[in-house]
Amino acid sequence: MNQALFLIGIDGGGSGTRVVLGDAEGRELAQAASGPSGLGLGVERAWQSITTACTEAFARAGAKLDWSRCVLGCGLAGVNNRDWLAAFHAHAPAVAALSVESDAYTTVLGAHGGEQGVIVALGTGSVAAVLDGAGQCRFVSGYGYPSGDEASGAWLGLRAIVHAQHVLDGRSPGDEFADALLAHTGAHDRDSLVVWLCDANQTAYASLAPIAIRHRTHPFAARVLDEAGVQVGRMIDALDPSESLPVALCGGLGAPMRDYLAPVYQARLREPLADSAHGGLQLAARAAARLGG
């Protein structure tokens, strides 16, 4: 392997980008983060966020970013859209090598150290994956906002804001949950909330999810969170009907969602060994090995 190369693992979603910089042997040198790089928010924006994070990681390692020496392993939301993926490759800088997979694939690689297992990744969006004994990966969910991505931040926020709508027009009495939702959106009446709703994207809706979790005892929030737990269980069942593989809940909402899973799933939960960015670093190492000496 070319010792002058740097390996970069990238995890890009709708809320942010995380980067792990490694040397040619995969030894970690630095980490950094920046804005969203999920492809659904635009390919140019994705590369801007990736560039910002990589530049910061190199600075923390006391080096300067030189794309020609970089092998990138990217786990990105939205790569199942072939047009977005093609555009992402077309806009790539002149790197030494580029390997792009879904963020679910890099998440399952990192979570189970390349061994068999199931992950449910719950962030701005959601997707679940299983890595089998042959090294093959299969996915469920992940169809994207707004119709899919069950139990994700965007999914939760899209449902939580309905409570504020009901309060504003008198269908439900006002309470602290509605006040917190409205304060976050900056809305104070029906018309101002409609303006927020018309402008909101998946990231904006996902920003409401922590409010629902903080108000988990509220009947409306509890119903939404309970349904999210049911949806996570259905993903696990679809991927592992044998009910034998370890399961890792990953992403920013992974830990909060543990409490909403049925006991049959709780018994199989394992803490992830590493995150999606470190799974991306594994991708980068494979790509570098293919380059040869």
Order the strands of the 17-22 sheet from edge to edge.
Answer: 28-34, 17-22, 6-12, 70-76, 97-102
Neighbours of 135 (CB within 10 A): 9
**Does the pLDDT at position 279 exceed 60?**
yes
pLDDT band at 251; cut points 50, 70, 90: confident
Q: What is the largest CA-CA distance in the chain?
A: 69
Residue 231 host element (H or E): helix 219-239
Q: What pLDDT score was predicted for residue 199?
A: 95
pLDDT tens across 215-237, in order? Answer: 999 999 999 999 999 999 999 99
* Residue, of 77 and 66, whose pLDDT is higher: 66
Per-residue confidence at 145, pLDDT binned at 50, 70, 90?
Answer: confident
Superfamily grouping for domain 6-113+273-291? ATPase, nucleotide binding domain (3.30.420.40)
Model confidence at 213: pLDDT above 80 = yes
Position 70 pLDDT exceeds 60: yes
Q: What is the pLDDT of residues 12-26, one digit of tens each?
A: 988 799 999 999 988
Q: Can you give the pLDDT at residue 113?
A: 86
Q: What residues contact 280, with CB distance under 8 A and at least 6 apart? A: 8, 9, 10, 11, 20, 72, 73, 74, 75, 106, 110
Spans of all domains in the chain: 6-113+273-291, 153-266
Half-sphere exposure of 195 (CA within 13 A, CB side): 9
Return mean pLDDT, the chain. Answer: 93
Domain 153-266 in CATH 3.30.420.40? The answer is yes
For residue 62, what are the contacts with CB-CB under 8 A and spacing of at least 6?
none
Phi, psi angles (nearest 5°) of residue 26: 85, 5
Rounded to an integer, what distance in angstroms lies between the CA atom of residue 149 and that of residue 203? 13
Cβ neighbours around 241 below 10 Å, total:
8
Contacts of 199 (CB under 8 A, 6+ apart): none
Instruction: Return the amino acid letter for 157.
Output: G
DSSP state of 278: H
CA distance readout (Å), 234 to 45, 82, 96, 249, 264: 33, 27, 41, 14, 12
pTM over 0.75: yes
Q: Examine the pLDDT at 3 and tell me if it is beyond 70.
A: no
Which two structure tokens, joined as six digits, stand for 17? 């980008």
Region for 282 from its dihedrals, namely left if φ exceeds 0, alpha if ψ lies in -120 to 50, beta otherwise: alpha
Q: Are 109 and 277 in contact (CB under 8 A)?
A: no
Domain 6-113+273-291 and domain 153-266, same fold? Reply is yes
Kindly calculate the radius of gyration of the chain based on its CA atoms and give it in whole angstroms.
20
Q: Which residue has the higher pLDDT, 277 or 41?
A: 277
Residue 1, pLDDT > 90, answer no
Phi, psi (rounded to 5 degrees) for 82: -65, -30
Q: What pLDDT shows up at residue 132?
A: 85
